[in-house]
Amino acid sequence: MNIKDGFDRCCRTYLTQILIFVSALFFSSCKSKYEKAKPSIESVSESIYASGLIKSRNQYQAFVTVNGTINSILVSEGDTVKKGALILTISNEAQRLGKDNAQLSAEFADLKNNQDKLNDAKSFIALAKIKMENDSTMYFRQKELWDQKIGTEVELEQKQLAYQNSKSSLSSANIKYKDLKRQLSFTSSQAKKNLAISTRQESDYALKSKIDGIVYSLPKSMGEIVSPQTPLALIGDASKFILEMQVDEYDILKIKKGLLVLVTLDSYKGKVFEAQVTKIYPIMNEKSKTFLVEAEFKNAPAILYPNISFEANIIIQTKSQAILIPRNYLLNDSIVLRSNGDTVIVKTGLKDYKKIEIISGLSANDELRKPKE
């Protein structure tokens, strides 16, 4: 073999190795150009995403109905209170003086304290009755004498007039007594009513709990001036909590009472809690275009606080043994690609955030390739 033949042979060997390397690289790149997958048979659930805040059951902001200054705060944040327990008091000097004045008026007008006036009126009636009886006796005695032609007609008329005046005086005394008694009773009742109103208004200056619960917040301090628009406390149930979710108007018709809700909390990372839809508010928030939906935990976390945020999936329906493919393998909601490049029109069903159900068009043995993004 001469030098030229040896050189040619070496060149051919080198070119063959290059072609083999390029071919391997090409087929490798073609192979990795498309991701492939087969449908899986699993259970799938259709759900609606929602987010919201946790509220204590019966949670409410407490207000007073008057203006004034906080005089005393009788509880602390975190305290458990009973229904009717005093939370704080408001002071108002004008209201206090008004009650004192009503108290004095009630005592002054009390019927017992005016009994002497009634006794005087009764005494006047008794005297008028005695005088009438005496004038009556004198008149009928004079009349008998006149019937016997004894005495004068003038004397008879005088006795008769005295008797009639006495009857009128007795009648007038009785009327005055009744009027006095009625007037004193009215004044006494009116004064008591005014005192009751003043006392009732005094209760407006005391903030009391409407429920058995826990005081979660006391945003104001002693000495601060408050009004009926000032929230003074946040009170709620100490052990029961409600999930308040905002659901888009597009999804609200799918929501029904009793649906399962899967809840995740930042406070309990890695855990999923089950809840159940309990209430759907029938009016939409015009600003957010959402509906308020409430749910309650089936088994609540050990510790919860109001206003904790959460994310939830409301399970609309679930199907087992469904043929599923990744959602990113679907084109235009109805087309998939087989691994050989053929396009297949499919009918889809339930879906979650990762996978979608194929009702018809594919079998579990078909190999698919992921479309180009």
The beta strands (E) that lie in the chain are given as: 36-37, 40-56, 60-62, 68-73, 80-81, 86-91, 206-208, 213-217, 225-226, 233-236, 241-248, 260-265, 268-285, 290-297, 309-326, 335-338, 343-345, 347-351, 355-360, 368-369
Whether residue 312 contacts residue 261, with contact meaning beta carbons closer than 8 Å, is answered with yes
Tell me whether residue 11 is in a domain.
yes
Q: What is the CATH number for 298?
A: 2.40.30.170
Tell me whether residue 85 is in a domain.
no
- How far apart CA 21 and CA 206 sit, in angstroms, is 90
Tell me whether residue 235 is in a domain.
no
299, 330: one domain: yes
DSSP-assigned letter for residue 331: B
- How far apart CA 235 and CA 219 sit, in angstroms, is 12
Q: How many domains does the chain fold into? A: 3
Tell me whether residue 228 is in a domain.
no
196, 255: one domain: no
245, 360: one domain: yes
What does the pLDDT read at residue 36?
A: 83
28, 50: one domain: no
Q: Alpha-carbon Rg of the chain, whole angstroms?
A: 49
* 144, 176, 204 - which closes a domain: 204
- How far apart CA 232 and CA 220 sit, in angstroms, is 6
108, 139: one domain: yes
Tell me whether residue 245 is in a domain.
yes
177, 279: one domain: no
**Ramachandran region, residue 88 (left: φ > 0; alpha: ψ -120 to 50; beta: rest):** beta
**Ramachandran region, residue 68 (left: φ > 0; alpha: ψ -120 to 50; beta: rest):** left
What does the pLDDT read at residue 54?
A: 94
Contacts of 41 by beta carbon, 8 Å cutoff, 6+ apart: 321, 322, 323, 324, 364
What does the pLDDT read at residue 200?
A: 66
Tell me whether residue 307 is in a domain.
yes
Tell me whether residue 217 is in a domain.
no
Residues of the chain with pLDDT under 50: 1-4, 6-8, 10-32
To 10 degrees, what angle do helices 115-147 and 153-203 make? 160
Tell me whether residue 87 is in a domain.
no
At 276, phi and psi to the nearest 5? -140, 135
What does the pLDDT read at residue 91?
A: 82
172, 270: one domain: no
Host domain of residue 167: 93-204
200, 244: one domain: no
187, 263: one domain: no
47, 18: one domain: no
277, 324: one domain: yes
44, 106: one domain: no
Whether residue 68 contacts residue 90, with contact meaning beta carbons closer than 8 Å, is answered with yes
